[in-house]
Chains A and B, each alone.
Chain A
Amino acid sequence: MPPGATSKGIVLSESVDARFRKLFSIEGGNFQAAGSVSKQIKMILKQLSIDNDLIWRAMIVAYEAEMNAVLYARSCEVTLSVSTHCVSLQFKDRGPGIPDIGLAMTEGYSTATREMRERGFGAGLGLPNMKKTADRFSIESVVGEGTTLQMELDIP
């Protein structure tokens, strides 16, 4: 898949006319803090009085992406951008990358270890769920470097 192309076949604009932008970082392997970035994002969207359903969808994608970063990456930079028409989330991690994106996007595919499965991860539903839930979704990955997810949700 060419860079920038999404699996939904729409090319994302480089940057929406962001009115608000905030960065967060996630530490790979830190289960103690897992979920805290999604939570902060939720608080901000709530304070912006964004529609509840949209916040819910944003939470689902943010939580899945955050968990993947905690599980698989070394570190991850998260950018939340909110404009008047769109909430956009970028998760850019440094980590092993994904060798076969098509496979990783398949429902049920997972490389989660036994230990991760015992913690309740590894159904192989995270990425497919993000794609389903976001209005636009793109994924790029370079093996040995990292993975970048870009997700957008339209404000009605």
Chain B
Amino acid sequence: MGAHDSFHSIKIDEQRCIGCVTCMHACPVKAIRLRNGKASVYKHDLCIDCGECLRVCPVQAVQSMTSKVVELAQFKVKVALPSPVLYAQYSDATTPNDILLALHKLGFDHVFDMALSCEMVLIAIEEYLNRMTDVRPIISNYCPAVVRLILKNYPNLMDRVVPIEVPREVAAKQIRKSLAAELKLDPTEIGIFHLTPCPAKLISIQKPIGVERSNLDDAIAIRDIYIPLLNALKEVGDDDLILQKSSGVGISWAISRSNVGGLPQHRSLTVRGLEEVIHILDQVEAGKLTDIDYLECAACPGGCVGGPLVVQNRHVAAAQVDTLIEQYGVRTRLDRRKILRSYEENYLIPGLHRKTRAVSHGQVDLVKALEVMNQVEETIGRLPGMNCGACGAPDCRTLAEDIAAGDAVLTDCVFMKIKELEDEVEGHRRKS
């Protein structure tokens, strides 16, 4: 796999973009700039693949790079690993089992109830919390946008991110191994697809952190499979085949609530929505919240049910998840000891905590950096402070930084431009 450096899970279509700056203001890490009236992820190394830009664009110019259903064909054997969020997209009468059966009918040779992997992973997380008692809080890792936010903006908190493989990876790894053996296939002939509520999962497949490569092949947006699946659901009759193995514990993953029967011995706290996540990480970084064992952070409002690639309204979906939790109970049927036997082999990711230390630079660089910073402050002093975005940067401070970096000029600011023109006119008048 290994996507190139500037690859991201979203792409802004120049043709469609109307240059309204909505996405630029919404981007939590200020990665977007407008150039020649078109938005682009100009500072791509800042992008955390949260999908906020996709969520807010009024003309659907921000596209998800997830694959289309038709792209499945290239694999001999196709496997679907649906996020539990999929279970909350249809009406009450549609059971998770119906959905799994319908995926079969859609052309997936194997369909796996990923909610069960969520339960396995919760057991492994509990074990990690029991073993590592000296660091608190431990932070969840299943939201790739949050992990990237921490890696880029809170590097000191990286060693608190739980180094336990996420459910989709655990499932994919086991499935590929067992299917290859069972069907006598080369593992590369098996295509494993995550049905995802957000583009962020795609980046964790294309550019994983802490491991060499992902066990998944690609991701398909729930909203792209919604209609075909709806049609396939009509063909699902009274089938004896039971594909659903999970309880409400695994399904609760869709609303990011591991405390639903999952981690009874530990104090957990769930924070959903990037703005709130940033706020809470600031506090953790300042040494607070040490009384919390497990801090669950999801970039999307409402958790994964609020992902930008879903169909159902997130409140409706969350209510649906609650119903499912009630229906399938909060007791996992899994054997804890059995899971923990392969804790090191199947769950632990030792590479995640590899030090992500910024290269401490020499004195010469610091002198230069201080000079640049002074220049930035001086520029900010001249800018009007309106944060209008007309310059193509999300706010005046960012424009000042871009100018210092040589990525913009002062007269990109319309107010500065007007002033320049006025001065010119004034100059001419004086001369004549």
Contact = CB atoms under 8 A, between A and B. Distances in A.
Interface stretch (A52-60, A89-97, A103-111): A52-60
A156 B377 CA distance: 25
A20 B223 CA distance: 50
A21 to B, nearest CB: 9
B367 A84 contact: yes
Best-surrounded residue of A53, A84, A156 (most CB of chain B within 10 A): A84
B329 interface: no
Interface string A34-54: 010011001010111111110
Interface in A11-27: 19-20, 22
Nearest to A156: B360
Contact of B369 (A49, A56, A60): A49
A123 B285 CA distance: 18
B286 A48 contact: no
Contacts of A53: 156
Interface string B149-178: 000010110000000000000000000000
B370 A59 contact: no
Interface in A47-75: 47-53, 55-56, 59-60, 63-64
B369 A52 contact: no
Contacts of A46: 153
Contacts of A102: none
A69 B367 CA distance: 31
Nearest to B156: A56
A155 interface: yes
Given A47-B401, A60-B286, A55 B156 contact: yes
Contact of B373 (A20, A52, A56): A20
A42 B152 CA distance: 13
Contacts of A35: 279, 282-283, 286
Given A49-B358, A63-B286, A19 B401 contact: no
Given A47-B401, A48-B373, A49-B358, A84 B363 contact: yes
B16 interface: no
A82 interface: yes
Contacts of B155: 52
A59 B285 contact: yes
A3 interface: no
A124 to B, nearest CB: 14
Interface string B361-402: 101011101110110110000000000000000000000010
B430 interface: no
A129 B288 CA distance: 12
A52 B367 contact: no
B287 interface: yes
Given A84-B367, A155-B366, 11 more contacts: A19-B367, A20-B377, A47-B369, A47-B401, A50-B366, A52-B156, A59-B285, A63-B282, A63-B283, A82-B373, A84-B363
